[in-house]
Structure 1
């Protein structure tokens, strides 16, 4: 948290820390969700991460104003504050991701101006990333409602929630520390995700019901891609190294 606190203070962004859920908290009856509803069994660390994001979504829904949600290892550009201020006044969205991870995304061909140096792109399909995003109250309520019936990795839950009116900011304003070097960004901070420490083996993917869900998810993404092929393109999102 010290890393994120120092960034936000330097950028003059007021913040509130939400206490993270840990694996030791999972026996709490409050956290008894349908943990077998995703594409593979979730590890306890992944369940805890999901619950931490869920707590943030519930708070945004209750507070009723747009909020920038950050994980502890998100590296922010110097423009983040100004971008967030502009987004907070727009309000015509559910979710805006500020992040890139060196993966292509399906976005609208047409850009929407968001200030002198940034644009908004309608985001039709992302694959991963929940380290830095702006969530509106309407978006938060949609995610909370979906979470009553399903669970997933936190970023997967956002990416598959097609009911969200999602956008991508370009140039991107955030990258996780473990991806910074891919963009030529040098940082003295290092991070190791608890979720990545133990890699899944073949037996961790679950049985036939999980395989069916994985196949269904791929088909669902393919159908969405075809449906919006006339207005979208699949490409990497620009990030300006000099802004970090």
Structure 2
């Protein structure tokens, strides 16, 4: 199942059994008005090449078979980007997206010299350029450490990622961040966070209506950030936010600016 509306296409990596997660992502796509298609996630049972293949045993530590499968799932998405010949938004099915994302995608789709943009932050520092791009709110990204849940990749970047993956498998985020020949950038402010960084959203992911039902509830702690989650007054149950879409971007310095969980989508993005 997919949407064929205009704009940059989102490729959503999802296991067939993860129907609640896919429902959560479909709600976000509808709220944001983004065209999308589902990428069938690779599982340990469908992994190619298989777990015993030497390509999976060249990383700096032994990989779990689930990590191999996730890397292979992203590889399927990269192959799709190359086949389409156009930049795509690649998403894992637990990515919470900012309401300003569609405008951001419009701003970056035609940029030259950009092959990859990370949209997320996970509380670990990133080495970035000091100056913003003159046409979009992105900074040159020189060193990343974690996160493959939300990014934009161009066909040239996807081809470089595929070439890297053929040489040596790695956890998907590590493979992306260690493809140093790829022109990578960071969205600043960050525009995505994974559900595991926001306990309230994670619990509600399977049923968007539950988010509205929790208006006024004492928020659960966001353990990954170490701060209390905070509901935004008047936000629950209205528009995109009711479907798990963050109400706005969060700046890389850690200041929340409309994030559902208040933890800061971009916390730690700047070194």
Interval containing the TM-score (normalised by the shorter chain) = 0.7 to 0.9
Partner of 2:79: 58
Q: How many residues align?
A: 194
Unaligned 5+ runs, structure 2: 1-21, 207-251, 261-271
Partner of 2:10: none
Higher relative contact order (CA 8 A, sep 6+): 1
- Partners of 1:13 and 1:81 within 8 A in 2: yes
Give the superposition deviation at 1:86: 1.3
| Among candidates 100, 115, 130, match of residue 109 of structure 1 | 130
CA, structure 1 residues 109+17, in 2 after alignment: closer, same or farther (shift >3 Å)?
same
Give the superposition deviation at 1:23: 0.9
Partner of 1:150: 168
Partner of 1:14: 35
Partner of 2:191: 173
- Partners of 1:171 and 1:239 within 8 A in 2: no
Q: Please report the TM-score for the alignment, with normalisation by the length of structure 1.
A: 0.73
Give the superposition deviation at 1:94: 0.9
Give the superposition deviation at 1:131: 0.3
- Partner of 1:45, secondary structure, is helix
Give the superposition deviation at 1:243: 4.9
Unaligned 5+ runs, structure 1: 192-235
Give the superposition deviation at 1:179: 1.5
- Partners of 2:120 and 2:192 within 8 A in 1: yes
* CA deviation profile, 1:214-244 (whole Å, cap 9, x unmatched): xxxxxxxxxxxxxxxxxxxxxx555644055
Q: Give me the whole-angstrom Cα distance separating, in 1, the residues matched to 2:94 and 2:65.
A: 20
Higher helix share: 1
CA, structure 1 residues 17+49, in 2 after alignment: closer, same or farther (shift >3 Å)?
same
Partner of 1:216: none
- Partners of 1:172 and 1:238 within 8 A in 2: no
Partner of 2:204: 189
Partner of 1:242: 258
- Partner of 2:57, secondary structure, is coil
Partner of 2:182: 164
